[in-house]
Amino acid sequence: MFGFFIVKQGAGYVTSVCFFGVCDGHGDGGTAGRCGNSGRGAGYFQGRGGKYTRLSGLFGDPREQFFKNKHGGEWSCASCHTDDPASQGKHAKSDKLIKPLAPSANPERFTEMKKVEKWYKRNCNDVLDRECTAQEKGDVLTYLLTIGK
């Protein structure tokens, strides 16, 4: 089962995320930390100066590409949540408005495990025609944490 723990600080800013474990520290100002005693999963922590570090390389952030690219079907995550997840989106089929997905623009995102699992399951099936792996869920959330308002 996919699990994570989010610590909120100040005005709703997410400061740490752990997958497959419970965070046992808040990082040292770098971009990595420790998760649980199981040794599984990865910790994602707030980087220097209170900002998350966006991964970059020759072809850009692979997590951002996963969010914006189609995966064999008609839709990508960005089809509904836009190329800017800090902006309001709209469902590709029903035209229903969707609040911003990025926690920086919508601090309530990713705070209730039941809702998170419900929407990951539904949206992954729409985009990938299957459930997301824990790695894919973590990659999407990690990308979203790099988005400013």
Question: Would residue 19 count as lying in a domain?
Answer: yes
Asked if 35 and 21 count as a contact pair (C-beta separation under 8 A), the reply is: yes
What's the CATH number where 130 sits? Answer: 1.10.760.10
pLDDT tens digit sequence for 83-124 = 999 999 999 999 999 999 999 999 999 999 999 999 999 999
Question: Would residue 30 count as lying in a domain?
Answer: yes
B/e letters for 74-107, b = 16+ CB within 10 Å, e = fewer, are ebbbbbbbbeebbbebeeeeeeeeeebbbbbbbe
Question: Would residue 149 count as lying in a domain?
Answer: no
The neighbouring-strand residues paired with 122 are none
pLDDT reported for residue 148? 86
pLDDT reported for residue 119? 94
pLDDT tens digit sequence for 5-48 = 444 444 444 444 444 333 333 443 333 333 333 333 333 333 44
Q: What's the domain count of the chain?
A: 1
pLDDT reported for residue 59? 59
Domain that holds residue 130: 4-144
**pTM of the predicted protein model:** 0.63
